[in-house]
Structure formats: structure tokens, C-alpha cells
Amino acid sequence: MRASEKAYAALRDDIVEWRLAPGTVLAEVEQSERLGVSRTPLREALGRLTAEGLTTPGGRGVVVTDISLEDIDELFELRETLEGKAAALAASRGDAATFEQLQRELAHAPDLINGNDPTRHDYYELVGRLDAAIDAAISNSYLAQAMRSLRVHLVRIRRLAADDAARLTAAAAEHAAIAEAIAAKNPRLAEAATTLHLHRSLSHVKATHASHHKEHHG
């Protein structure tokens, strides 16, 4: 693996998993020593992170960007626009059998959620397959790219929310509804199902974020 790739993956992971808090200054020498690479590949990694919006050029060096409540609202506003359109396009252009299969698998998602694996690997993998299927079905690389760049931030937010079994079960049902609408080749229904799902996700994130806040300050 290239050193710049290694540094990028490590830093990205540290930021997304909140091991590097917002506002942290990423000094080049400090980070290059910590990650065991020289400054050149490290700078490349920082450039990629900044392009993605995970870091921003601050006075000296780059700093880990903050995610405020307003950011979450803005992020979901854009997400609703993009994923709503994507679901509609997938319904128009996608292959019905693919999404029928995903719908069937999502019906059994509760088994994955309540299984032995505390990381819920299989569940998240299944949701990821739905995302990938939509990406492939829309046949619009620019839209797919825009959604990919959003997902980085969404993963970061997800780590704030308590992914409890109740919410995940409900989310799986919402995903199944999206898959069903796409399989039925109904663009407007697919978009509506997506809108519904995102609104509920947002509510959940904001609720847990608020209680986190209370925990820390009250």
C-alpha cells in the first residue's frame, strides 16, 4: 500500500470515528511521525481530506472540521435532494429483480440486527449493497460521485447516534420500502419512501445528539 494512501486511510478513519476531535490541528511533522510516513505523502493525504471537507485550511496547517446541528440539517437537506432523485432514477432505469432480491433480504434484517455480532457487520453490508445497487442503477456517475462524497460525512454523523436495535429495525423496514418501490418501477413512490426514511433518520440523529448534549452539560 502506498504511504499516502495509508496516511489518508488512517487520518480519515481517525476523524470519522471521532478519535480526532473537531478543531484538532493536524501539524504535518507531528502527524507524519505518528503515522510513520514522511511529510510528502502526508500532505497529499491532508489535501484529499480537505477536498472532501473533513478538514479545512486553518491559520497554520489544517484543522478537523466541526459538525454542528445546522450542518446536520444542511447535510440531510442535500442528501434528501440527491438520494430522492437517485431512488426515482433507479426506479426508472433499474433492474426489478435486483431490488426484489434486496427487498427479500431486508425483510430478514431483524435476524441480522439481533444476531451475535455486536458490530452488525452483516446488516450494514446489506444496506451498503442497497446503496451500491442504486448507484449502479442510476447510471449517472456525477450523481453517484456526489452521493459518495456525502456519505463520508454521514458515517461521521452516524457514530454520534445510538444505533439501537429498535431504530435499526425500523430503518430496515424503510429500506425495504424503498427497494420495493424501485422494484415496482414507481419513481415517485421510491422518492417518497426515501424522503420518509431520511426524515426519520434525521429525527433519530437529532434526538440522540440532543440527549448526548444533555448528558455532557446537564
From DNA, its own copies, none, interface partner of 66 (C-beta below 5 to 8 A by class): none
Unique residue bearing C-alpha cell 435532494: 81
Element (H, E) at 25: strand 25-26
150 CB-side CA count, 13 A: 20
43: contact with its own copies by CB under 8 A: yes
CB atoms near residue 38 (< 10 Å): 15
x/- string (CB under 8 A) for its own copies, residues 123-142? ----------------xxxx
Stretch that binds its own copies, among 40-48, 54-62, 99-107, 179-187 (CB under 8 A): 40-48
Give residues in contact with DNA (CB under 7 A). 2-5, 26-29, 37-41, 43-44, 59-61
Instruction: Kindly tell me which residue out of 25, 146, 170, 184 binds its own copies, with binding defined by CB under 8 A.
Output: 146
Instruction: Kindly tell me which residue out of 3, 10, 143, 161 binds its own copies, with binding defined by CB under 8 A.
Output: 143
From DNA, its own copies, none, interface partner of 216 (C-beta below 5 to 8 A by class): none
77: contact with its own copies by CB under 8 A: yes
* 8 A C-beta contact, residue 106 and residue 176: yes
The sign of the torsion formed by the CA atoms of 144, 150, 98, 116 equals positive
Distance of alpha carbon 91 from alpha carbon 94, whole angstroms: 6
Distance of alpha carbon 87 from alpha carbon 191, whole angstroms: 6
From DNA, its own copies, none, interface partner of 82 (C-beta below 5 to 8 A by class): its own copies
From its own copies, DNA, none, interface partner of 169 (C-beta below 5 to 8 A by class): none
**Which three cell numbers, joined as nine digits, stand for 119?**
458490530
